[in-house]
Structure 1
Amino acid sequence: MAEFFASGRVIDLILVLLLIEGAALAILHHRTGRGIAPADLAGFLLSGFFLMLAVRAALVGAWWGWVSLCLTAALLTHLADLRHRWKRPD
């Protein structure tokens, strides 16, 4: 089990599940009109995706620049998602 975590494969599994979740939610919205619109999903799914990439890079001992780049991408997508949500009157 330790190798599963140390190799980063646990993060690979989480990333696949994240993609499946996004696809399932988008399909649900497309077919029924219910749930969260894909444009609203993108921001938080992408920021989570980039955070998981940062964790994976750190787990496998990747160059610190990759970790930093992934964290920066997570921050930028998170801020873009906040901006998108802030402008909408709900």
Structure 2
Amino acid sequence: MRLKDYTKAHGLKPLAGKVGTSSAYLSQIAHGHRACSEPLALAIERETAGAVTVADLRPQFAALLDACGYRKGGELVVEIDASIDHHEAA
């Protein structure tokens, strides 16, 4: 699912709060104006229960996770600390 569709259905502010970023920044990502960082992509996948995946947001990073064995069948199999180095909430 695209992030834009998810936030339209479930709200932008709740997800932004859960992933630790601002609604404005998340909106820019959802509309393709900003790239999503890898840690933020992981947090979004986790908080959307896989409805929006890392592959949706950062396909190259998802391929790297697959190659390293962190993902099997599209699901994360190892907990990765996604709380580092992404845009702070305003």
Above 0.5 in TM-score? no
Per the shorter chain, which TM-score range? under 0.3
Q: Which structure dedicates a bigger proportion of its chain to helix?
A: 1
The higher relative CO (CA closer than 8 Å, separation ≥ 6) is in 2
Q: Which has the higher strand share?
A: 2
When the two structures are superposed, what TM-score results if normalisation uses the length of structure 2? 0.27
Larger radius of gyration, structure 1 or 2? Answer: 1
Scaled by the length of structure 1, the TM-score of the pair is 0.27
